[in-house]
A and B are shown apart, each in its own frame.
Chain A
Amino acid sequence: MEIKIALAGNPNSGKTTLFNNLTGSRQYVGNWPGVTVEKKEGKLKGHDDVIIQDLPGIYSLSPYTLEEVVSRTYLVNEKPDAIINIVDGTNIERNLYLTTQLLELNIPMVIALNMMDLVRKNGDKVDTAKLSSELGCEVIELSALKNEGADDVANKAIQLAQNKTIGNRPSILSGEVENAVKQIEGELSGIADDKFLSWSAIKVFERDSKELEKLHLASDKKKNIEDIIEACEKSMDDDSESIITNQRYTYITGVTDTAVKKGRAKGELSISDKIDKIVTNRILGLPIFALVMFLIYAIAMGGWSVSIGTAATDFTNDVIFGEWVPGFFDTILGALHVEEGTVLYGLIQDGIVAGVGAVIGFVPQMLVLFLLLAILEDIGYMARVAFVMDRIFRQFGLSGKSFVPCLVATGCGVPGVMASRTIENDRDRKLTVMTTTFMPCGAKLPIIGLIAGAIFGGSPWIAASAYFIGIGSIILSGIILKKFKAFAGEPAPFVMELPPYHVPSVVGVLRATWERGWSFIKRAGSVIVISSIIIWFLSAFGTVNGHFGLVDNLFEDETIVTDEYVQKLADRMDVEIDDVNAMDASLLASVGNVISPVFKPLGFGNWKPTVATITGLVAKEEVVGTFGVLYNYDDSDEELGEEGEQIWDRVAADYTTMGAFSFMVFNLLCAPCFAAIGAIKREMNNAKWTWAAIGYMTGWAYVLAFIFYNVGGLLTGEHGFGLGPILGIVLLAGLIYLLVRKGYQPDESAKSLTSVDANA
């Protein structure tokens, strides 16, 4: 018979480490149905019939946060055969608070008292026998990091599950409260599940919305119960929820007073305290923070000799996927007599290899970055980042931890989006994912270079303005979006644990790094490869004078490409006869022609920039390359410069100043490249939110480009007053309104930490 064991405990109690110890590599990572909380499940090492279910790290079983609701729904509905409650031995009081709640579920349970090595080192003494008899539950010492005791815990849990042993539940409640809960139990008997009767009664006493919803009490029952609660509240002079919480902690203090002896005198500083005194010091805190962030940037993103991340990614892009892999496939395809210019060759080399390369190219840089972030997290610095930056970021509705994704996104949006993983609050994380790619990433710099060089005489102000627009977009979006219901709700009370610093574990850090990297490759990969193939197909195929096929090949056939046809194509695509090339006949050009009117109000309603914008979805640096092709740059003598220097004069002739600037703004802010979209999809883990993010970014880009072109053009005298500028001013006024309006006000009585839609 299969045994299901749930692993429950506080965040930072070493749950993940124990889970990895118990399951080895045989785990399955998924998501809880309908929500984006990660769900991990694995088979116990050496026991194929024992499933370990890792629950999210939680402090309580309140009905308010997503993680808590997910956990209690699992425990009550799935009824695991046993619970392993992992308790951090160095922080026993607060950890036991969850334990007192788990005990009420009447499920066989064993307490794994973790971090015993640290407990001993601190000189603390825990009397496990005493603890065990007080709690009516087996207590086993564990040091998950050193992999000591994990087997004992698992064996005990299996034994309890098989015998269905439930310990004697300690009486946590006392006096009137106990009486009141007993009375409610009486009222509920027959209605609530017998097994969960005492759990239900306590939840009803707390007026727990989720439990009341589930029970559907008749109105006279409700009234009886309400009378019981009110009487108790009146005599205790507190609300029922607080009464229960107080009683739990009072009980715990009683238990720990007898079973735990602290080695350190109160007020004496541990090593961690001493480190923290410096790291989050009033004066040194910010410089240290800046230094740490700079180091991360330098190692993962920068362009210096210490920048391992950039070097690795450049190597992957330029050498592995620039020479080796295409060369390798050239050889194979050559051996199979698949000639260059055939459909199969194009599909493999330009569609699949280029597409896979686009995914894999980012991976080395991402791994370096994730490694650094995993180390910071493991050390305990990430919590301090939030502590230091909270003041600034909450002004525009983001979390202090949003700083890291934004910083990383200046190098590449893909790891930037994925770095948002460390933000616990669901809404803050979604908001960060939606806005972080506004930062001009490395691949957008050539676009800036092209526009600055071609139109603005290489003015450095253009690049500066691009960063300003990117940062401004993040801040403004934060303020605007936070006023909508989906992101509103009082920002979660910032009640955050600052875990003690400790030396990172090598295995743990590497594991976290790899898990994140792999999850990107797996889930984002498919999106990117399929999208790249579609764009390749659209740009390679087309109809030339009535013949459908690869446009490059058809153009070489002089019987098809007649002078008359070339003339017609030149007229249709509005180019000089001498400039007509194969690309003009591609499906992509036709698509560009159809879509281009959309961009007319932005000042670049021509099919060329439209096509460039579309190819920018594959990778933003493609925009410049596409311009090279469309402006007929002949690269047989010299390759097109990174910023398209050779075509600057031709581009300049086609655009007005504000039109070009608006093109740049749109391309900086609109939907990011497919790789980043893939990362967004991975993080949102929900089609609706992914589309909402892409739609918002594109919409924002459109509105901003519209305002820059029309209002900016009016100010610079590029065009006179008319419909465009009027609409631009209206949009600007609309933006200002969205910024200053009062916004959605959550119902005060239903203040919620995160949106809880877990279907509990």
Chain B
Amino acid sequence: MKTLRDAAIGATVKVKKLHGEGPTKRRIMDMGITKGVDIYVRKVAPLGDPIELTVRGYELSVRKADAELIEVE
């Protein structure tokens, strides 16, 4: 399974499925990361975590641990 965590910086990936449950998953989805949406992996923070994404035209940062819940194509 390939997750957002594995995506290279500068890559654009399509979300396949969201794992996890409850508030964490809801929060991620509320922010617009839903099935089929394109995510551009913009950069990684100076200390290696979190990562910055562009999704639905805005910038979002997520921790790598949470990015693992997002399965991509």
Contacts and interface: CB of A to CB of B under 8 A. Distances in A.
B11 interface: no
A383 B61 CA distance: 10
B2 interface: no
Interface string B46-62: 11111010001111111
Contact of B45 (A91, A391, A493, A749): A391
A261 to B, nearest CB: 12
A494 interface: yes
A interface, size bucket = 35 or more
Residue with the greatest number of chain A CB neighbours at <10 A, chosen from B24, B35, B57: B57
B34 A390 contact: no
Contact of A494 (B46, B48, B57, B61): B61
Interface string B13-25: 0000010011111
A538 B1 CA distance: 70
Given A94-B56, A285-B46, A387-B52, A749 B28 contact: no
A491 to B, nearest CB: 9
Interface in A371-392: 383, 387-388, 390-392
Interface in A279-309: 280-283, 285-286, 289
B25 A242 contact: yes
A59 B55 CA distance: 15
A751 B20 CA distance: 10
Contact of A498 (B23, B52, B56, B66): B52
A494 B66 contact: yes
Interface string A248-273: 01100000000000100001000000
A500 B60 CA distance: 11
A62 B25 CA distance: 12
B46 A490 contact: no
A91 B57 contact: yes
Shortest Cβ-Cβ A-B pairs, 5 listed: A285-B46, A391-B47, A498-B59, A60-B30, A64-B23
Interface of B: 18, 21-32, 34-35, 37, 40, 43-50, 52, 56-63, 66
Given A282-B44, A493-B63, 10 more contacts: A64-B23, A239-B21, A242-B26, A242-B34, A280-B43, A286-B46, A391-B48, A490-B24, A494-B62, A497-B58
11 contacts: A62-B23, A62-B30, A91-B56, A93-B32, A280-B46, A282-B44, A495-B31, A498-B59, A498-B61, A748-B22, A749-B22
Interface of A: 59-60, 62, 64-65, 90-94, 97, 238-239, 241-242, 245-246, 249-250, 262, 267, 276-277, 280-283, 285-286, 289, 383, 387-388, 390-392, 490, 492-500, 748-753
